[in-house]
Structure 1
């Protein structure tokens, strides 16, 4: 191995990049004082690991960086690279050429180290050159100053050079590291043993607590396995029973409504019938008075008629012929009376027939109207059924949150057991009237966001959903969410735009504590009246805000538009408004139904009255038929008698055209007509009253039955509502138990249902397990983990203790082995160097005696090295020697070390400066003698040394403060050295 070249840049006086090529053998570097040739020695020592700034002839390590000159500015970085030929792999590196680089920066003084251009540590470099003869403590790199330091240093300080020569520096470093490691190991062992002893004291109590906790958890697992199935089965059972109760309750409620409606209808009918009966009684009383008067008048007129008829019969029965004309006149009058009565009865007959037909038509029209009314009622009922179904669906969505996502519904159901759940956004804000669509569209999916008191509550909610695999939900923590508002410049533009109504957050009502949530969601949304105004406003503000219209059309940030029908959207706010409208419509339809039923009842009453009148007319019509027949017979008889008397046929048409002036008969006919009409009306009213009486009795009977039924229904409703409340409470208690005890939702608990569990037996098992759990008393569930942690820590530390003890023993053995190796190597090398030292000394001094001695022979590992030297004619006292003698002693030691152990490189900086020419020649000859095994780089002024160099470099400062190196011949070198 040898040094091939040194590359310097920015190091001390080497401002420019300089490359110095070296060859095996002796290379001399010459030059006048102050030209920077010793900086090459400093550079090599610096790269090989020198850490002392003082050794570098500076105050701080950054002093090695070129500090500038009159013509040159200071540099910020110094870098030196040593390139070694390593074909023999003398250095422990696989490369045939090894580059070692050290770089330092002025800013911060940071240093960088590289081996073969790969960044490394300083330690890597010192390890690489350790025990190679290139170490800091070796004599391979020495200067004039270190010559005297070597000879005059303390024996203990001198030892390091011999260790380097003996190749034990690596062992010494390893021993130092091993001793430090042993100290750390011993300290760690003591600490670990203290901890292990403490853990041993903790283990037994923790073990008992752990076993108790494990028993508790085992019982809890058994309890959970059984109780979850019990709770699920109970929930299923109660749910089925609740469904049955709900169905029965709905039927009872429907029956109650129908029963109440029927009672109300019957009571109304009864009151109406009683009023009509009272009215009929009053009318019959009045009519009876009129009938009595009419009958009296008929009687009076009939008596008058009887008298007239008797006179006529008397005249007819007279035998006087002179009375024939009177007889004919009376007979004609009688015939005319018979004809008049017959015509009167026929007229009444036809009138009655017409009235009967009219009543029949009215009955038919009333039936048609009743049928129409029934159809109307049926349509109203259909409409009510649809409206109620829609209402039930919307109520289900609003009350049971069926329109919300599964995760949101799960959280709301568990809100009683999860802390800090305020509710969903859609339940916490109320849009102003007319803004439901706009608010719903503005919120979109965020209407389902859940508001929580704190971020921790939100995290608990998310963990609850994860445990139960119950979907996802978005949470808005009140302590985290901050409101957002419109920038003042955009607000000013929006306010002045046509159609602008305001900011969406201004059109909702909410509690003060959620104001930041509302502002966050709605504080930056603008509201306009129409889409045209919305697009213009959005353009005015450069599409930086969302703009929403009252109809729910949207101009998004960026300018995209969203709109269309909202029919199928799930908007909670429109649902609320729709529910109000449906409720109002249902009320209107129910009122229409009542009115329709009342109208149907009125038509029914009217139909019955008309029918009764029709029946009465039929009776009158039948009677009149008999009367007309009788009057017809009377007319025929009168006609026959008239013709028999006159002996000529009677012309009834002429008689009818020339009626007699018989006011009495006309009055009598009119009186009879009035009497018969009054009788007919009284009979009709009496029949109607009787009908009303019968209906009233039937209604009274029905009302009694309805009231009795109502009491039964109301009792049934009360019982079913109590049962419903009980089942709902039982279900909620079971759900709460699942949630509180096992953090499960019902859906999640279904996964653990054991269908084969006998419910009664399982309940008994649950009670037994609960008693066993209660008997355990206080249980520390953390003891299981604590025991595992302590036990694991104990096992780990106990293992560490064993390993530390083994490591301690191994380190002590390693230290002992290294001590033995170092003693053997150091002693062997020392003896060899001592022998060579005396030989070299005698050669260099031309006689005398020199030897090396231990200061403490019994402690080879720490003993110092003393030098005894006696040049010819002098006593052996080192402090009395001259500088040249000290140099020869040091060089003797150096060459002795080289004789024992080959050093690949030796750098000598003016070490022979104090020698006389004869000793310089001896010194130079030694260099040549060892140059086949050792590469020498010599900084010198002496001709004798220069003469033995294979290669010479001259150091000059052509530019002040900047060193340049040039290859020179021997003659030029002597001139440069003497300059």
Structure 2
């Protein structure tokens, strides 16, 4: 890339628009003293923002660069790069409150840092020694070897690559630290993941064992449940049987009472007849009395037996009902156990599911850290390659510097 032309308007001694073309190669600007040759160099420094202060441009203030009687000044530097053209423009204008200064790149407003960033792509750095000003050659000859070497390094671009090398080494160290941190993170996540895998396996094993235990407990509960149901059915059948017997016996009691009443009436009649009849029939009546008395006694015994049976059946019914109540309590207890087992199973399933989610999350985090590690590793490789390139460029520049030193030495010899 080279300067194709410079366009000046109201800058220092150039009171009107002036265009200065440059050739691709070596261009010389000649003229008498005070004709504005140095102002051309000042215009380049001004436009590209390479001057550290207005005094470097031989002016007290920036507004002193404006031609006398004018309100603004403008300088444009046009670069050519393999057929591409880039135009950098800087304007300074006096206002009521002072002045303002603007930069433009290809007609678009930019700030100074944007201009420096653009120029740095072509090796023009704002902190480097870019232009040999008036009197610099004499000062270079009068300088000490150390100062001269520093200027030659700046001109040759070695100092720039030294700074780039330092920055690259700092970035390389930062990358190494990041890699160490990532390796620690990966190690920690891997150990935690291993522990969680073991916990997950144990939880799954516990879940399976708990599931088997619940199944066997459910089988046992169902067996007890059906056994109790069968007992309940049997008890209900016996209760129904006793109820029928009780009803039958209860139905027989009135008839027995009637028979007893009937025999008592007959007995009274017999007693009356005995009193009425003579001795002949007393024996006959006594035999009948004995017969009726024995029948009556057997009926009484039957009645007592039936009453005792009724009491026994009622006590059995009470026992059976208390047994039914106990069976119902057991059934309710079994139902509660079934519900509790279902809840426990749900809680264990939630714990296993939570552990599975945490394991998956850690796996994703491990993959992410691994990707970051690979990226940092690739950056490290790139930085190493860049450092090698900088070293090679530095070697080339050192060779160029040695050539320049040799040329300066010859110039000193010729001057002497």
TM-score (normalizing by structure 1): 0.24
Structure that is richer in helix per residue: 2
Pick 1 or 2: higher relative contact order, CA cutoff 8 A, min separation 6: 1
TM-score (normalizing by structure 2): 0.50
